[in-house]
Structure 1
Amino acid sequence: MTQPILDLKDVTLSLKGNAGMVEILHGIDLSVHKGETLGLIGPSGSGKSSLLMVMGGLETATSGSVLALGQDLTAMDEDAMARFRRAHMGVVFQSFHLIPTMTALENVATPLELAGENNAYQRAEAELEAVGLGHRADHYPAQMSGGEQQRVALARASVTRPEILLADEPTGNLDGANGQAIIDLLFGLRDRHGATLVLVTHSRELAAKCDRVVRLTDGHIADTALKAAE
């Protein structure tokens, strides 16, 4: 079998809270292979989002190893991690995290500009067209609906053609119709670009579309299945 695109060994995460250090993740062992779609499910506070953040280097594991594309994320400083993430990962958040003073087109072009790409705006325009928002390119986030903002966030995450796409509750702030549209777009991006997709979700429908589902409870992996339970 080929080397996992993401490989976590005995990962723990402790964060400082009001009452001292809080243990979030406990001895996580998890591998994700190229082209796989993995759903992370579990009750609120189970550590799903924290695990996703560790996978993306947005949180540094307290102990253990986190390999992405064979590179040890825990050994990277903040600048090296930012460069690695920019080159190889796309991240989509529940709350969109668009830059409010930039248009949709400028938001999507930003990661390409940071990477020094000369055709950043042409590629950003094409990506907005791909998510059905070419006509909203000059609009600012405040002028768009939640569903439209999440489409822009998806376009921004995918415009660099990342090998790994991480999504944290991508349908959590959307109604049923918009949520379904985002699900279709996410899996369409995976199919078009061959990205490995890891997503945190409370949506049974979204989890059921994944190749494999991992359930977390109190910072531990409780069980894993090739398909979500009906």
Structure 2
Amino acid sequence: MPDPVLSLRDARLTLQGNAGPVDILKGISLEVERGQSVGLVGPSGSGKSSLLMLMGGLERATGGSVRALDQDLTAMNEDQLARFRRGNMGVVFQSFHLIPTMTALENVATPLELAGRKDAFERAEAELTAVGLGARMHHYPAQLSGGEQQRVALARAAAPRPAILLADEPTGNLDGPNGQAIMDMLFGLRDRHGATLVLVTHAPDLAARCDRVIHLRDGMIETETRSTPRAEAAQ
């Protein structure tokens, strides 16, 4: 595979617990191609979210290597990781992580301003409109439903046009119709911006939409399944 967007080699994560060290990830080797969608599935405690955090540099591997866009995340300090994420990654969490004292527009525009984008508010408006919140962009998070807050989080993640989009249980706090809408938007962002999408999910229908589904158990890759490539499926 030439120049994978994400590449993990024997990546390990060990954290200190009350009873001593706990092995969370036990040697993950994995490559993800540009533009692919990958679903991480498995029982609770299998290491799905921890693996996603390693890919985003939000957790530091305690062994092996993690590379993104041919950059070694394991060699970066926290400031370097933050700058790298800001320029190359969008992250969507289950719990939204919106700033309550900022409007939807400000929540999306502020990271762009911090990155030095002169068109921060124009781009934020465009992304909020794209996720159906054109009429709600001046509302605060407390004035928005859960589904609307997740749409703001999606717009914030997509606004910088990231090469990599990471989502941790993006539909976990939403009801069926809102969850379906967020699923459609996630894959729409992938298609519209050409981003590589990696998501953690317990929802079989969401995982089934991915090009690859990686099943984890006890901190290791148990199996992997691949869908029919989109080009072939269209024939």
Q: Same fold by TM (over 0.5)? A: yes
State the match for 2:138 in structure 1.
138
What is the alpha-carbon distance in structure 2 between the residues aligned to residue 26 and residue 60 of structure 1?
A: 14
State the match for 2:121 in structure 1.
121
In the TM superposition, what whole-angstrom CA distance separates every residue of 1:65-88 from its partner, at most 9, and x where no partner exists? 000000000000000000000000
Work out whether 1:98 is the aligned partner of 2:61.
no
State the match for 1:73 in structure 2.
73
What is the alpha-carbon distance in structure 2 between the residues aligned to residue 16 and residue 98 of structure 1?
A: 29
Q: CA shift at 1:20, angstroms? A: 2.0
What SS class does the counterpart of residue 135 from structure 1 fall into?
Answer: coil
Give matches, 1:1-230, under 5 Å.
Answer: 1-227=1-227
Letter in 1 for 2:214: V
State the match for 2:231 in structure 1.
none
Letter in 2 for 1:47: G
Letter in 2 for 1:23: D
Q: CA shift at 1:227, angstroms? A: 3.2
Aligned-CA RMSD value: 0.9
Letter in 1 for 2:84: F
Q: CA shift at 1:150, angstroms? A: 0.3
| Count, aligned residues | 228
Letter in 2 for 1:147: G
What SS class does the counterpart of residue 134 from structure 1 fall into?
Answer: coil
Identity %: 73
What is the alpha-carbon distance in structure 1 between the residues aligned to residue 24 and residue 100 of structure 2?
A: 32
Letter in 2 for 1:37: S
